[in-house]
Structure 1
Amino acid sequence: MFNLSLLNLEFTHPWWFLALPLPLLVFYYAPAYRTKQSAIKVPFFSQLIEALGETPSSGANQLKPSWWQRLTLLISWGLIITALAKPTILGTPQVRESFGRDVMVLVDLSGSMAEKDFTSSTGQKVSRLDAVKEVLADFVKTRQGDRLGLILFGDAAFVQTPFTADQDVWLALLNQTEVAMAGQSTHLGDAMGLAIKVFEQSHQEKVGEDREKVAIVLTDGNDTGSFVEPIEAAKVAMAKGVRIHMIAMGDPQTVGETALDMDTINRVARESGGQAFVALDRQALSAAYEEIGKLEPQLYESSTYRPKQSIHHYFIAVVVVMYLVAFSLATFNRRRSSRRRWNSESGSGQKDSEGNHA
């Protein structure tokens, strides 16, 4: 395959150009075709041509093409060889990406996420939600090739970001979240059910693409009044091929509505094929995401290709047009010569008849 990068042109079968000198070999080594003409043998041939003053010629004539016929043949041969080499125009390089995993992050926005019991990377006390944003910003950088989604939950669950490969957009929408924007309570089971539904809808839209499905749930309290029990949602997730990793933020020893139900959290992770983590501080939260990164390594393939468009048929079309024009001109010239010959013969015949008549 021969590629002319400057012209964005590629020849699929360039070895056909080796046949370009073939007409020269035929011209020099193959005998020319000679047309036969009628002749009369006479014993006094030499005396006859001497009396007529004519120069004798051979009994067969070799047809010789005119200059424009030779040029037409040469150009046609070059175009045919070029068409056989199959010239192809290369389009603009395209990148084909194959994403291997969908990751849905579920973030608890209940009122307790405003507790400033986490320390930022600069050493300042920040809220649990701010710590989540900071750690997720680092986590996202390690998820090249994954499609990310974001679900927020409190009194209800809603999709903040559908699955997308644009990490910047995903982070921007995460940073827009505020504590209690979804309510004060923790409807964990409903959020998990919504995540499963989003996975199902995405799978139906992307028929033929088999992606792994992972959900990461961050919560600092137990489930309070979900229509779907978290354990039941975990069983459905397992049946749908969705692994759920649970990250419990806060102190497991706390009591009340903000207490962590570690039994439920551990069972949800186990029932869905995931793992459970406890994050008492930012360091533990970062360690949990690092561990999830090891459990869910990147599945990503990227390939570059250039669309191709063959143009060999245009060369054949030019050859056809050239031959149509050449045959039309030859026919026109032949008819014009015949008409002139007929007119001259008619004129000489009239002169003879007038002379004889006189």
Structure 2
Amino acid sequence: MFEFGWPWIFLLLPLPWLLRAVLPAADSGEAALKVSFLPDLESLVSRRARRQLPTWRQQAPLVLLWLLLVVAAARPQWVGEPLPLPASGRDLLVAVDVSGSMDYADMRWQGEEVSRLTLVKHLIGDFIQGRHGDRLGLILFGSQAYLQAPLTFDRQTVRTWLDEALIGIAGKNTAIGDAIGLAVKRLRQRPAESRVLVLVTDGANNGGEIDPLTAARLAAEAGVRIYTIGIGADPAQGGVLGMFGLTPGLDLDEPTLRAIAEHTGGEYFRARDAEELQAIEASLDRLEPVAQQPTQARPEHALYSWPLAAALLLSVLLAARTLWPQRPVWLTRRPFWSRRAP
């Protein structure tokens, strides 16, 4: 149906007439010259002014122009029928480690060696893109934890923020406890059955202010399920440095990550390569959705451009009439193709 988004704008319709009645006249009312026949001049001017008062036909275009502008400002729109939005009821936060060790290139993607963060961007990005009906959010953590994207149905925006994540943007250390605490803070106001955190890291907690197990107990009390993913190749698979046991960042604290998952009713996964991370993605996709009240939305099609375009055209015509009160000479001439040869 047709409606106005801001109908109160129509209260401004009498504004020009109110301003004309309230504001003082342009002249001060005092005569610039004092002459003996001033009363005769005043009477003559008043008679001419009365004869030159604008008629209704002259005022109509200006009134119509003001009406079109007010109508456009009132946001005319066509509102469609309510449409259901697919929503599973799950609120899912993804916390990704962006500490310095995530830059180590011990993973392979499509035949090329890539860093751990690059692989996470590819596969966790696909996981985010496939979460139809879920509210998704993104946390990036290093020495500190930051909410990069709040919970939203806009999966493409969340994936874009993940793709633009940089190594060291949150510091060089790993604050797992702070990331869990931030997730609990953001999820506690959501339905308890739908709070999920997927935490991806390649190291142990060596930064932040909250102990990971303490944060896990808080998450369990808030009903947040945490699925932890430890990423990084084994020393034997970590390239030349890995052969000597020098794989950077592979101080992965698996017992702590496993305890976090067990405390919150989640699960711990180990991702040593792309295939294992893809399998983890498939496992996470099997999470059961939680039913909520159906969400509906009514599509809105803005129509303000039509009265605005009409007001612009009318203003151009009024300006042309003011600049050229009579028809230009070139319009009165006969076209050359209609002239007869002498």
Q: What TM-score does the superposition give when structure 1 sets the normalisation length? A: 0.55
Residue of structure 1 aligned with 2:221, choices 235, 239, 260: 239
Task: Supply the AA of the counterpart residue of 1:288.
Answer: I
With over 3 angstroms needed to count, the CA separation of the structure-2 counterparts of 1:159 and 1:284, relative to structure 1, is same
For 1:306 and 1:170, the matched residues in 2 are separated by 24
Q: Which residue of 2 aligns with 1:11?
A: none
Q: Which residue of 1 aligns with 2:169?
A: 181
Residue of structure 2 aligned with 1:163, choices 135, 138, 151: 151
The answer to whether 1:106 aligns with 2:106 is no
1:296-351 Cα deviation digits (max 9, x unpaired): 447588676879xxxxxxxxxxxxxxxxxxxxxxxxxxxxxxxxxxxxxxxxxxxx
With over 3 angstroms needed to count, the CA separation of the structure-2 counterparts of 1:115 and 1:91, relative to structure 1, is closer
Q: Which residue of 2 aligns with 1:228?
A: 210
Task: Supply the AA of the counterpart residue of 1:218.
Answer: V
RMSD between superposed Cα atoms in Å: 2.7
For 1:301 and 1:144, the matched residues in 2 are separated by 16
1:248-299 Cα deviation digits (max 9, x unpaired): 0014667886401111011000001100000001111111111111134475
* 8 Å Cα contact 1:252/1:260 also seen in 2: no
Residue 227 of structure 1: CA displacement? 1.4
For 2:119 and 2:126, the matched residues in 1 are separated by 11
With over 3 angstroms needed to count, the CA separation of the structure-2 counterparts of 1:302 and 1:137, relative to structure 1, is farther
With over 3 angstroms needed to count, the CA separation of the structure-2 counterparts of 1:231 and 1:169, relative to structure 1, is same
Q: Which residue of 1 aligns with 2:323?
A: none
Q: What TM-score does the superposition give when structure 2 sets the normalisation length? A: 0.57
The answer to whether 1:116 aligns with 2:98 is no
* 8 Å Cα contact 1:145/1:301 also seen in 2: no
Task: Supply the AA of the counterpart residue of 1:231.
Answer: L
For 1:224 and 1:103, the matched residues in 2 are separated by 25
With over 3 angstroms needed to count, the CA separation of the structure-2 counterparts of 1:257 and 1:170, relative to structure 1, is closer
* 8 Å Cα contact 2:197/2:227 also seen in 1: yes
TM alignment of 1:190-229, pairs within 5 A: 190-200=178-188, 202-203=189-190, 212-229=194-211
Residue 93 of structure 1: CA displacement? 1.6
TM alignment of 1:1-358, pairs within 5 A: 92-97=80-85, 98-120=87-109, 122-200=110-188, 202-203=189-190, 212-251=194-233, 258-297=250-289
Q: Which moved more, 1:235-244 or 1:253-262?
A: 253-262
With over 3 angstroms needed to count, the CA separation of the structure-2 counterparts of 1:302 and 1:231, relative to structure 1, is same
SS state at 1:177 partner: coil
Residue 146 of structure 1: CA displacement? 0.3
Residue 158 of structure 1: CA displacement? 0.7
For 1:300 and 1:283, the matched residues in 2 are separated by 34
Same amino acid, percent of matched pairs: 37
Task: Supply the AA of the counterpart residue of 1:286.
Answer: Q
For 1:117 and 1:271, the matched residues in 2 are separated by 30
* 8 Å Cα contact 2:101/2:249 also seen in 1: no
Task: Supply the AA of the counterpart residue of 1:227.
Answer: E
For 2:290 and 2:119, the matched residues in 1 are separated by 24
Task: Supply the AA of the counterpart residue of 2:196.
Answer: V
SS state at 2:286 partner: helix
With over 3 angstroms needed to count, the CA separation of the structure-2 counterparts of 1:132 and 1:298, relative to structure 1, is farther
For 1:226 and 1:215, the matched residues in 2 are separated by 18
Pick the structure with greater CA Rg.
1
Task: Supply the AA of the counterpart residue of 2:269.
Answer: F
